[in-house]
Amino acid sequence: MKIVVLVSGGGTNLQAIFDAIDNGSITNTEVAGVISNNPGAYALERAKKRGIPALCVSPKQFASRAEFNDAWLAAAQSFSPDLVVLAGCLVVISEAMVHAFTNRIINIHPALIPSFCGKGYYGLKVHEAALERGVRVTGATVHFVDAGTDTGPIILQKAVYIQEGDTPEILQRRVMEEAEWIILPAAIDLIANGRIQVEDGKVHIADYTFGTI
């Protein structure tokens, strides 16, 4: 399975994908390319170090959002991917792209959807909201991308307990280490090995025991 990974920042989720391919926990998968909307994204350096095509398609290069959206979609399609992975990607995916890759785009969100998600909930803001609400458990979610924001069929989730003294930065790091970097590679491997079916907006995983990762 060929994947293209869309990124905006440090690329720790991208690195988790690379590491999982190297240690065999992701099989049948090749990262064909990495695309960022942010020229300064360290994720691009991670791709270059690995000899993987790394493109920057920035909104600043275009006169309108529509032209950026077209170029963003064309860049993803240029790798002929079987799966598009949003890994720390802050670009709002256009309806045209969602339709071009129906149930073939996945996203990692740093909370247990439907909590702390939707418009305005990204990066540290998600963890600030969880701490503000005083929840005991947060975590991460991998889901298919549909036309909404964080509303597509859920594939995997993993819980992380909040501890006394957590700051948004401490919590973000723990959610990445204990959840994101585990369930995103796991979801990619399941898809690469034909273990995922979407029926009536729900994801079914064959022969899978939840909570084991």
Q: Could you list the active site residues?
A: 109
Q: Which of 85, 102, 95, 199 lies closest to 147, judged by CA?
A: 95
Nearer to ligand GRF, 12 or 69 (CB): 12
Least gap, CB of 143 to ligand GRF (angstroms): 12
Residue 9 binding ligand GRF, by CB under 6 A = yes
Q: What angle do CA 29, 35, 41 make, to 5 degrees?
A: 115
Nearer to ligand GRF, 7 or 190 (CB): 7
Q: What is the full DSSP assignment across 61-122?
A: GSSSHHHHHHHHHHHHHTT--SEEEESS--PPPPHHHHHHTTT-EEEEESS-TTSS-STT--
- Please identify which residue in the block is written with the tokens 């280490």: 177
Residue 139 binding ligand GRF, by CB under 6 A = no
Residue 96 contacts residue 73 (beta carbons within 8 Å): yes
Rounded to the nearest 10 degrees, the angle between the axes of helix 124-133 and helix 168-175 is 110
- Of 53, 59, 118, 123, which lies in the binding site for ligand GRF, with binding defined by CB under 6 A? 123
Binding residues for ligand GRF, total number by CB under 6 A: 16
Least gap, CB of 156 to ligand GRF (angstroms): 14
- Of 2, 10, 131, 151, which lies in the binding site for ligand GRF, with binding defined by CB under 6 A? 10
Least gap, CB of 194 to ligand GRF (angstroms): 26
Rg (CA), the chain: 16
- Of 57, 87, 97, 162, which lies in the binding site for ligand GRF, with binding defined by CB under 6 A? 87
Nearer to ligand GRF, 103 or 172 (CB): 172
Residue 12 binding ligand GRF, by CB under 6 A = yes
Residue 189 binding ligand GRF, by CB under 6 A = no
* Cis peptide bond prior to 114, omega within 30° of 0: yes
Please tell me the distance from the alpha carbon of residue 17 to that of residue 190, in angstroms, as a whole number: 13
Please state, as a whole number, how many other Cβ atoms lie within 10 Å of the Cβ of residue 112: 22
Residue 108 binding ligand GRF, by CB under 6 A = yes
Nearer to ligand GRF, 118 or 123 (CB): 123
Residue 88 binding ligand GRF, by CB under 6 A = yes
User: Between residue 33 and residue 62, which ones bind ligand GRF under the rule CB under 6 A?
Assistant: 43
Residue 62 contacts residue 71 (beta carbons within 8 Å): yes
* Interacting residues with ligand GRF (CB under 6 A): 7, 9-14, 43, 87-88, 108, 110, 123, 172, 176, 180
